[in-house]
Amino acid sequence: MDALHKNNENKPHVVFVPHPIQSHIKGMLKLARLLHHNGIQVTFVNTQSNHYRLFKSTDPNGPGFQFKTIPDGLPSTGDVSEHGHNQTLRHVSSYLHINFLDSFLELVSRLESPVTSIIADGLMTFANTGGAAERLGVPVMHYWAFAACGFMAIYQAKVLVEKGILPLEG
């Protein structure tokens, strides 16, 4: 076993799972880079289409951590469907709801060093990241990749609807 591989076995290994939206991916990349800069091994998992878009629009190879992909049910070219972004996001979310867990566990089983934790986007609950963490026996942290005011709006939306404040009229 070479020294680099042996050295990585002793480091914490965090797997990042962003929501398949560019702003969420970029926010999680910043956190992943910070953790990697502080000696934590990082695997950043994107859907295939977003991985293609990320590498097409930027060079994410700076920090030296590994990027991996899971299928997303979209064409392999990474093109957005003719129905637009929202249709594509619905399609990806639906596909991941059904297929994420098996694809993710398969990916993790092929990694060279054991995963010690998962940091998943808070909006990835439809993808069962908690179930993956439970099966792997590692902790999961949900990272909310948007401002506190946005989180509070989502958090309070049900109460606002119940009180008749939402939806807004006119």
Query: Domain spans of the chain?
Result: 3-162
pLDDT (average), residues 95-116: 88
Q: For residue 59, what pLDDT is reported?
A: 57
Distance of CA 85 to the CA centre of its chain: 18
Mean pLDDT in residue range 99-123: 91
Q: Which of 1, 47, 6, 56 is nearest to 24 (CA)?
A: 47
Among the ranges given (21-25, 83-87, 117-121, 126-130), the one the predictor scored with the smallest mean pLDDT = 83-87
φ/ψ of 168, rounded to 5, equals -70, 145
Give the pLDDT of residue 84: 44
52 vs 80 pLDDT, higher one: 52
* pLDDT of the residue at 169: 82
Average pLDDT over residues 128-146: 88
Instruction: Report the catalytic residues.
Output: 24, 121
CA atoms within 13 A on the CB side of 48: 15
Q: Report pLDDT for 80.
A: 47
Report helix, strand and coil shares of the chain as percent, to nearest 5: 50, 15, 35
How much of the chain exceeds pLDDT 90, in percent?
A: 28
Per-residue pLDDT band at 60 (split at 50, 70, 90): low
Angle (CA) 155-161-162 rounded to 5° is 105
Fold classification of 3-162 is: Rossmann fold (3.40.50)
Handedness of CA 98, 104, 110, 115 (dihedral sign): negative
Residue 7 reports pLDDT greater than 60: no
